[in-house]
Structure 1
Amino acid sequence: MNGTISLPKGTKAQRVYLSLRDQITGGSLSDGNSLPGEQRLAETFGVSRVTVRRALDALAKTGLIERRAGSGTTVCRGLNVNKPIAMNFSTLMPQLVEMGQSTTARLLSFSYGKAPDFVMRAMGLNAIDDVQIAIRVRSTKKTPFSHLTTYVPAVIAKNYSEDDLASQPLFALLERSGVEIEAAHQSVSATLAGPEVASALGVSVGSALLSLRRVVRDVNGNGVEYLSGLYRPDMFRLEMPLTRVGQGPARHWEPAIGQEGDSTP
């Protein structure tokens, strides 16, 4: 796969494309499986053969299927597709640190200035405080999977250079600067890719992305980093082990924090 998601034109074609893509990347359709013919797919999805053809052409461009005249369409996921990076929710922070060491980063911008109001409030900054603002794209096997915007108080960021940030994980640079990290609060939601982010991640404008926001604090409770991360969902997933607890009607699922879940992509 070339790392770029190119959705077919038309909402019906996109629906067919996304359904087949999810079946392939989720393992329902395995390597070497043959897809039904265009007419059968058209009947299954209630669309025209032209619509099905658009969806199949888009899947072929991403390397998920191979189309050969006279022999049909074959799934070729294992040969061409990067497997998603699986992150266990209960051990997410150590995994993110490890990911920063095992993937490559490209620095898109580096500057100093005032943080947006929502960042200032989250970090507890004053209106006069400057921050370092950096935007990076992380890639695995040359395929971009995350767009990261970080805000760090200038008084801390002055201890490392633009070149340092382009080559080393931010956690390591903060600790090298003498910051004693105590805790962080993180939230995960979903959003849509705008033009600049879509271009950087190789996806179509309006594509769904995982959105991660994190505020990191030192031992004194001061905000030392604000991260806004956007992740391609086809390259990244969060996993959480669960345990069945309680008695009778109150029995429910509860996160098994501290236990390792299945992190096999």
Structure 2
Amino acid sequence: MKEIAETATPVFDATYRQLKESITGGSLTHGERLPTEKWLCEQYDVSRTTLRKVIEQLEADGYLERRARKGVYVSYLVTPPIFEFPTSVHNLLRGAGRVSNSEIISYHTDSVGNTNPPIFRCPAEEPVSVIRRVRYVDGRPFAIQTLCLRTAFFPEFDPWWLRDQSFYTLLSERYHLEIDRTNQKVSTCSASKEAAGYLQIPVRTPLLHTTSLVITPKEEEVVHMEHIINTNVFPYTFCTNSL
């Protein structure tokens, strides 16, 4: 999250988290106008100044959009989770004769407890490796990926492998991890200023937002992936079985 507020405070962080959860959890739905500032201030017990900074941050992060002379609306769309086996986009593109590669934006280690909300069911102090990259097809940026790995399952992982290799190939061939399934969620958002810069598109361009949780046959949650995808460059579709 790229912070707009000059100094993040516990009140700011708590209000941001609660309002974001109302959006991603479906309490505030796609296309719905935000309640009045007075109501929100009373609901979250915050000042108007803090509330406005929180709303600005949620706009920058693609969860809200401001419409001229109409107010602030929810731009995030929630759809039910689906379950499927993963497909390597890298290998699909290479198989079709396309050039697929990535640029690593950042790499750091952290603990599960510092992810918000916690993305794995495991001890909060367990380390994770966090990698952000821009993905390209034929030289055009089409997605921003944030990849979180439970470090214990990926010793000596080198993020630079991802510049020109399939992550799923690395997972199976180098680390010999078997995948039982992935839990995916699909939604929409609009491009923040940061995302627009990386993807070379206008701010507020509609984007596809996906998250995937990779689970082994032993019910171990080992990888969490988040993608923001420009479907004008790379069409993205799903096939699911009826339940």
Structure 1 residue runs of 5 or longer lacking an equivalent are: 1-88, 242-254, 258-265
Letter of the 2:103 counterpart:
R
Q: Is the 8 A contact 1:185 1:216 kept in 2?
A: yes
> Counterpart of 1:103?
100
Superposition pairs of residues 160-199 of structure 1, within 5 angstroms? 160-175=157-172, 176-199=174-197
Give secondary structure in 2 for the equivalent of 1:180.
coil
Q: Is the 8 A contact 1:160 1:173 kept in 2?
A: no
Q: How many residue pairs are counted as aligned between the two chains?
A: 154
> Counterpart of 1:78?
none
Q: Is the 8 A contact 1:100 1:169 kept in 2?
A: no
Alpha carbons of 1:114 and 1:194: their partners in 2 closer, same or farther (altered >3 Å)?
A: farther
Q: 1:238 offset after TM fit, Å?
A: 3.7
Letter of the 2:218 counterpart:
N
Alpha carbons of 1:117 and 1:256: their partners in 2 closer, same or farther (altered >3 Å)?
A: closer
Give secondary structure in 1 for the equivalent of 2:212.
strand
Q: Name segments (4+ residues, structure 1) moved above 6 Å.
A: 89-92
Residue in structure 1 matching 2:222, options 221, 224, 229: 224
Alpha carbons of 1:96 and 1:141: their partners in 2 closer, same or farther (altered >3 Å)?
A: closer
Q: Is the 8 A contact 1:90 1:240 kept in 2?
A: no
Q: 1:104 offset after TM fit, Å?
A: 1.1
Q: Does 1:150 align with 2:155?
A: no
Letter of the 1:123 counterpart:
F
TM-score of the aligned structures, taking structure 2 as reference length = 0.56
Q: Is the 8 A contact 1:192 1:208 kept in 2?
A: yes
Alpha carbons of 1:213 and 1:100: their partners in 2 closer, same or farther (altered >3 Å)?
A: farther
Cα distance in 2 between the residues matched to 1:93 and 1:150: 14
Alpha carbons of 1:172 and 1:239: their partners in 2 closer, same or farther (altered >3 Å)?
A: closer
Q: 1:91 offset after TM fit, Å?
A: 8.3
* Structure in which a larger fraction of residues adopt helix: 1
TM-score of the aligned structures, taking structure 1 as reference length = 0.52
Cα distance in 2 between the residues matched to 1:222 and 1:91: 16
Cα distance in 2 between the residues matched to 1:217 and 1:157: 14
Q: Is the 8 A contact 1:151 1:226 kept in 2?
A: yes
Give secondary structure in 1 for the equivalent of 2:86.
helix
Q: 1:224 offset after TM fit, Å?
A: 1.0
Give secondary structure in 1 for the equivalent of 2:177.
coil
Give secondary structure in 2 for the equivalent of 1:172.
helix
Alpha carbons of 1:160 and 1:110: their partners in 2 closer, same or farther (altered >3 Å)?
A: same
Percent of aligned pairs sharing the same letter: 19
Letter of the 1:98 counterpart:
N
Cα distance in 2 between the residues matched to 1:167 and 1:182: 25
Alpha carbons of 1:193 and 1:217: their partners in 2 closer, same or farther (altered >3 Å)?
A: same
Alpha carbons of 1:134 and 1:240: their partners in 2 closer, same or farther (altered >3 Å)?
A: closer
Give secondary structure in 1 for the equivalent of 2:87.
helix
Cα distance in 2 between the residues matched to 1:138 and 1:99: 14
Give secondary structure in 1 for the equivalent of 2:219.
coil
Deviations for 1:121-159, whole angstroms, at most 9, x for unmatched residues?
x42132101111001111111110011101000112324
Root mean square deviation, CA, Å: 2.6
Residue in structure 1 matching 2:233, options 232, 235, 259: 235
Give secondary structure in 2 for the equivalent of 1:123.
coil
> Counterpart of 2:127?
130
Q: 1:225 offset after TM fit, Å?
A: 0.7
Letter of the 1:154 counterpart:
T
